[in-house]
Amino acid sequence: MRETAKVGAMLIAGMVLLLGAAAPVAQAEDGKAVFQKNCVACHGAAGKGDGPAAKALKPPPGDFATTLKSTGDADIAKLIKEGGKPVGKNHPAFGAKLSDEQITALVQYVKELAAK
**Verdict on whether the full-model pTM lies above 0.85:** no
In tens, the pLDDT along 31-70 reads 999 999 999 999 999 999 999 999 998 888 889 999 888 8
Class of the 25-115 domain? mainly alpha
Sign of CA dihedral 33, 35, 40, 46: negative
Distance CA 50, CA 19 (A): 35
